Structure 1
Amino acid sequence: MERRLYKAAAEGDVASLLDLLKEDPLILDRCTAWSYDETPLHVAAMLGHEKFVDEILDRKPELAGELDSRKLSPLHLATAKGYLGVVKKLLRMNVDMCYARDKYGRNPLHVAVVKDRVNVLKELVRESPHAASHKMEHGETILHLCVKHSNLEALKLLVETVGDHEFVNSKNDDGDTILHLAAADKHTETINFLMSCTPVEANSLNRNGLAAHDLLEQSGIEPMTTMALPSKANDQRIASPVQQKGSKKNVKKQYDWLERKKNALMVVASLTATMAFQVGVNPPGGFWQDTNQGDASTKPHHAGFSILADNYPVAYSRFLAINTLGFLASLSIILLLVSGLPLRRRFFMWILMVIMWIAITSIAFIYGLSITVLTPSPERNAIYEIIGFGIFAWAGLMVLLLVGHTIRLVLMAARNVKKIVTRSSSASLVMHQDSV
């Protein structure tokens, strides 16, 4: 009798079903209790027999929630074959089956995308839009499936109905968004749609630190339709093993440069901080060893006080201010380097180097001031000339460094602006062509 039931389901023979139910009213119940791979409803739904499906659902509606050995529901099978009428009947009976997952983690909406059943997908999304947000294995969303299976129509439908910012920018376990996948597979039409009609984040990086534009470039093409993609200016390329090897070398080279700079800055900052501290607590000229109230020929002084402060109060004030500046600059560098902050970019290294310039310049000024006040008056003119020449040479070197770095930064900024303008112009041209 069971064989006759499954034959009737395969043929969609409603009359035979009714005859079997008269002979054994519990025959449908036995199907759920026996260890069959699939129920008669699975067979009828897979073959699109709407009337047969109606008869079974009227008598045994809970069969709509049964799963076969592959964890497929009747809704999965009807969706895969594109039988919209059957899908509507199953949804009317049990809409929660939109959330049922097969052994691959796919619900009926995922199956509709894979099989390119856009009309069925529209009905499923209308009845259960939240099911579209469920992720599959490897963290992929239904939008990732759309791109992987080149189903642009399904992608447009989903973006229009449930495409909020978070959903559109969801990442899989590799950190790839749908824009990454579209760029990697060279789906230019999909890229244009995402860039013009969705809130996709074009500069989002995957786990390899690559933006969508980087994945597009590694494919070896640069079509006009994809020029709108902004670049992350990332030097990593994975188009070939040779490029991968070169990329790793470049990254390692930059990392080594930063480490060398950090180590050098730490050593120099420690030395300048030590020098500034020693000069601060032991100023040039030393301290008075006795206390003298003073008389007509001498000034009063007290033991332990700085001789320089009493004899040259203005020079001592300048000495103290410049020395404190250099000391604090050196301590700032040491603090930043040991703070654990991610100082892995050249920009931060340049900031630390500028602070170091301040510290070193302070040491140079302290040296010149100390030499001046410690030199006897008759010989100070010669000292002034030497110090003047030294200040002129030092200032020239500082100006040269500043001008060189300024020119370098201006050129880099100009190149970046040129790239942005070029991409913007290309994007405008693409949008104009699309509108035409």
Structure 2
Amino acid sequence: MEGRLLEAARSGDLQALHDAVGEDDSILQKLHSCGCVETPLHRASMFGQAEFVREYMRLSSISAHQLSQLNRDGYSPLHLASANGHLEIVEFILEFVKQNFAVVEVCMKKDRDGRTALHSAVVSGKIEVIDVLFVNYPDAAKEVTFHQETVLHLAVKHHQHEALMFLIDQKLGSSAEGLLNLGDWEGNTILHLATANRQFQAVDYLVRQSSLNVNAENSNGLRALDMLFVNAFNSNDAHIEETITLAGGSRSQMTTTDVQTRLEHQPSDTSSRSTSQEEDDRDAEHKWFTELRSGIIVMASVFATMTFQVALTPPGGMWQDWGPNAATSNSSAIPTHKPGETILYDMDRKNFRSLMWLNTQTFFSSIATILLVLQAFKAQSAAWIMGIYCAYFTVLIIVAEYLEIVRLVTDKNLFNHGGVLPYLVIWIVILSVALGSFFKKSLRLFRTTPHLN
């Protein structure tokens, strides 16, 4: 049902929506009350299906709190509609929250990067959406992201020159003075960013703002003009240098080498030269991490179920009848076996106990893997790394268990066949390489993603 609704939201199929509600009139409310991370409202807002959004909100009796719910990618319906420039949906949502006195809750809802819907519209350069959001809740322009970026930082960082001018000239008014010289968490003002990214048009526009401090220094003691001397000379550099100099700008007392050294020690994902492509790469790695965690939990669950089943139906099966002595006329005879007893246990107790020991180890290792990886959902990197090792150890035990079962059932040792051992060694090497790759990538992800540490 949920899958059909999501597809209907994507295509704007109102009939499918009505059919779903007809089958279960509480289905829409259930989707939100159960904490579903991806609702049809998110999907319709992303793809601009305005009529579907209107009808969905009418049928679902959605609350303002549910309307601000984030999906698995960390965006609310208003974020998605704003980022994609779906003005009609943005206006309808804003009208709804005004009637429910929830403008602040919805408009100030932040995504996983600490961005509001206004921030999302600025990043995408959607001027009409910026205008509507600003009119309905102008205080959103004062909010900063988790990296202390203002709406002006985001406009410059994502090369949205038109949005930058629109905000400063028509929307911010007197509050623009403070935002022009406000630094992000690296202390970079918008002039630092525009200069570092060689945005000549933005630099030329900014230096004409009377309240701009052209000589503001970031947390590394660098001025905007210093940002030109980081990389190789660019054709725009001379124009930018002249523009800033004419506006009264000057370099700091550092040498070019000092400037390069200072900037090289800035974290790559938070430097003034970071791009949207770098953010996309980080998002892709985070998605990989989440999917891999889910995959390991499924794998460990299968292992635990499989080993439990082995205990119920061991290799070789169980005796279905009483031993031959039970059929004799002597009622006091002791049967050699009973129904339900393991056949292999009667035949070779020592080897059967070895097999059951391996099976028990697999079961508890699988359970440990599940617990550790679940603990990793609380962003504890040590638990995650131990979970990978437990999964690796579990796979090795299962291989050993399989070889032991073959030996017990067929009375043949696979290692006596010359072709088996080389393949086994190759398989172990491949598994070890995969483990090392997962470990390195996970470790890098923990280091570059602050909220996972």
Q: Normalized against structure 1, the TM-score is what?
A: 0.52
Deviation at 1:146, TM superposition (A): 1.1
Distance in 2 separating the partners of 1:216 and 1:177: 15
Residue correspondence of structure 1 range 238-249 to structure 2 within 5 A: 238=256, 240=257
How much has 1:230 moved relative to structure 2? 2.1
Structure 1 distance, partners of 2:124, 2:183, is 23
State the partner residue of 1:231: 249
In 2, the alpha carbon distance for the partners of 1:176 and 1:17 equals 48
Of residues 91, 95, 110 in structure 2, which corresponds to 1:92? Answer: 95
Q: 2:154 is matched by which residue type in structure 1?
A: L
Pairing 1:54–2:63 present: no
Q: Which residue of 1 aligns with 2:176?
A: 164
Distance 1:176 1:125 in 2: 25
Q: Distance in 2 between matches of 1:78 and 1:55?
A: 16
CA distance in 1, matches of 2:4, 2:261: 62
Whether the 8 Å contact between 1:113 and 1:121 is mirrored in structure 2 is yes
Which position in structure 2 is the counterpart of 1:71? 74
SS at match of 1:197: coil
Task: Kindly indicate whether the alpha-carbon contact (under 8 Å) linking 1:216 and 1:222 is maintained by their aligned counterparts in 2.
Answer: no
Deviation of 1:170 (Å):
0.8
Distance 2:259 2:111 in 1: 41
Report the AA paired with residue 85 of structure 1.
E
Deviations 1:62-111 (A, max 9, x none): 24222222331101111222211111111112233221111111111111
Preserved contact between residue 146 and residue 152 of structure 1 (Cα < 8 Å) = yes
Residues 155 and 237 (structure 1), Cα distance of their counterparts in 2 relative to 1, 3 Å cut: farther
Identity among equivalent positions (%) equals: 35
Q: Please give the residue correspondences for 1:368-383 in structure 2 after superposition, counting only pairs within 5 Å.
A: none
Deviation at 1:135, TM superposition (A): 1.0
- Among 199, 204, 208, the residue aligned to 2:220: 208
Cα distance in 1, alignment partners of residues 79 and 238 from structure 2: 40
- What's the offset of the Cα at 1:143? 1.0
Partner of 2:392: none
Contact 1:57 1:64 in 2 (8 A): no
Give the drift of 1:244.
5.0
Asked if structure 1 preserves the Cα contact closer than 8 Å seen for 2:109 and 2:116, the reply is yes
How many Å separate the matches in 2 of 1:140 and 1:187? 18
1:26-58 Cα deviation digits (max 9, x unpaired)? 111111133533111111111111111011222
Structure 1 Cα separation of the partners of residues 38 and 260 of structure 2: 52
If the length of structure 2 is used for normalisation, what is the TM-score?
0.50
Letter in 1 for 2:249: S
> Which SS does the other structure have where 1:196 is aligned?
coil
| Distance in 1 of aligned mates of 2:47 and 2:210 | 38
Sort the Cα spacing of 1:52 and 1:198 in 2 relative to 1 into closer, same or farther, 3 A: farther
- 1:104 aligns with 113
**Contact 1:8–1:14 under 8 Å retained in 2:** yes
1:113 aligns with 2:122: yes
The one-letter code sitting in structure 1 at the alignment partner of 2:62 is P
| Alpha carbons 1:180, 1:211 under 8 Å: kept | yes
Which range is displaced more, 217-226 or 135-144? 217-226
Point out where structure 2 has 5 or more consecutive residues left out of the alignment: 98-102, 263-453
2:189 to 146, 160, 177: 177
What residue number does 2:42 align with?
Answer: 42
Tell me the secondary structure at the aligned position of residue 147 of structure 2. helix
Call closer, same or farther: CA 1:234–1:225 in 2, change over 3 Å: closer
Deviation per residue, 1:248-282 (Å, 9 max, x gap): xxxxxxxxxxxxxxxxxxxxxxxxxxxxxxxxxxx
**Contact map agreement 1:210 1:232 (CA 8 A) in 2:** no
Question: Match of 2:238?
Answer: 222
Structure 2 contact 230–260 (Cα < 8 Å) conserved: no
- Asked if 1:122 corresponds to 2:131, the answer is yes
- The aligned residue for residue 296 of structure 2 is none
CA–CA distance in 2 between the matches of 1:118 and 1:87?
A: 13
1:80 alignment counterpart? 83
- Relative to structure 1, the CA distance from residue 198 to residue 153 in structure 2 (aligned partners, 3 Å threshold; closer, same or farther) is farther
Report the CA distance shift for 1:153/1:216 in structure 2 as closer, same or farther (over 3 A).
same
Letter in 1 for 2:117: P
- Alpha-carbon shift at residue 61 of structure 1 (Å): 3.5
Using the alignment, how far apart are the partners of 2:243 and 2:213 within structure 1? 17
Instruction: Give the Å deviation of 1:10.
Output: 2.2
- In the TM superposition, what is the alpha-carbon distance from 1:208 to its structure 2 partner? 2.5
Q: Which residue of 2 aligns with 1:30?
A: 30
Residues 226 and 259, structure 2, Cα contact 8 Å, conserved in 1: no
Q: What is the CA-CA distance between 1:9 and the residue it aligns to?
A: 1.7
The residue matched to 2:221 in structure 1 has which SS? coil
Distance 1:31 1:214, change over 3 A: same
The answer as to whether partners of 1:152 and 1:190 remain within 8 angstroms in 2 is yes
CA distance in 1, matches of 2:200, 2:206: 10
Task: Verify the 8 A CA contact 2:222 2:252 in the aligned structure 1.
Answer: yes
* C-alpha RMSD of the superposition: 2.4
* Separation in structure 1 between the aligned mates of residue 253 and residue 19 of structure 2, nearest angstrom: 73
The verdict on how the C-alpha distance between 1:129 and 1:198 changes in structure 2, with shifts beyond 3 A counting, is farther
| Deviant stretches of 4+, over 4 Å | 217-220, 240-245
Q: Does 1:153 align with 2:162?
A: yes
Task: Check 1:4–1:205 CA distance in 2 against 1; reply closer, same or farther (3 A cut).
Answer: closer
1:157 & 1:198 partners in 2: Cα distance? 17
Q: Distance in 2 between matches of 1:210 and 1:9?
A: 50
Native 8 Å contact 1:212 1:229 kept in 2 = no
CA distance, structure 1, for counterparts of residue 151 and residue 70 of structure 2: 22
CA distance in 2 between counterparts of 1:26 and 1:226 reads 62
Question: Which residue number corresponds to residue 139 of structure 1?
Answer: 148
CA distance in 2, matches of 1:72, 1:242: 38
Structure-2 change in CA distance of 1:6 and 1:242 (3 Å): closer
- Residues 1:192 and 2:204 are matched in the alignment: yes
Quick one: distance in 2 between partners of 1:140 and 1:69? 23
1:49 to 1:222, Cα distance in 2 relative to 1, 3 A:
same
Q: Residues of 2 paired with 1:196 and 1:241: CA distance?
A: 29
